[in-house]
Amino acid sequence: MSANCIFCKIVAGKIPSAKVYEDADVLAFMDIGPIVKGHTLVIPKQHFDPITATPEPVLAKLVAVVKKIAQAQMNGLRAEGVNVMQMNGAAAGQVVPHIHFHVIPRFATDGHRWNWAAKQYDDPNEMKQLAATVQAALK
Ligand code: 5GP
Ligand code: ZN
């Protein structure tokens, strides 16, 4: 447990939550500020952050539960689609620094729109150069 971490406090039962799923390692509960009603967070019970510091076996367990929740939103809420999101760092919009996946049920009529503003590369080589830079940084 990390001191002053809201999600660690939820795991410990010090802050109440509307639980959807729980096992030895993973907890899923309703987001208090849903983008669409039914919006669920999936977290490890142990404190890790960000994704790059989270062990792969933990990530595998989290993604398995994300899949379960997505299926349950489709079956139980009749969701027509599901968004899965995961933020790392304030620059990426992360507010709670305990790794979590957002699982958001989507409906054609839910009214939510992502501000997904696709940009363009300056020239054809820029994209290739960025790919090469990231590729060279792979370990
Ligand atoms: P982030 O921006 O870090 O990816 O998302 C954090 C999410 O945690 C937000 O969607 C926010 O609504 C949710 N959240 C913050 N505090 C609480 C809380 O005390 N209880 C619950 N259930 N959700 C919370
Ligand atoms: Zn935590």
Domain that holds residue 102: 6-137
**Domain membership flag for residue 80:** yes
Question: Which segments of the chain have a pLDDT < 70?
Answer: none
- Indicate which CATH number applies to the domain containing 93: 3.30.428.10
**Domain membership flag for residue 66:** yes
**Domain membership flag for residue 44:** yes
Distances (CA, A) of 125 to 105, 115, 118: 38, 27, 18
Number of domains in the chain: 1
What is the Cα–Cα distance from 67 to 70, expressed in whole angstroms? 5
Per the omega criterion (within 30 degrees of 0), is the bond before 50 cis?
yes
**Domain membership flag for residue 51:** yes
136 C-alpha to ligand 2 centroid (Å): 32
Q: Is the CB of 49 under 6 A from ligand 1?
A: no
Looking at residue 139, its pLDDT comes to 79
Looking at residue 1, its pLDDT comes to 80
Looking at residue 133, its pLDDT comes to 97
Q: What is the phi/psi pair of residue 88, to 5°?
A: -135, 110
Nearest to residue 110, comparing CAs of 70, 66, 86, 80? 80
- Contact assessment for residue 55 and residue 48, using Cβ atoms and an 8 Å cutoff: yes
47 C-alpha to ligand 2 centroid (Å): 4
Query: Is residue 112 annotated as a catalytic residue, yes or no?
Result: no
Coil vs helix vs strand at 41: strand
**49-89 residue pLDDT tens:** 999 999 999 999 999 999 999 999 999 999 999 999 999 99
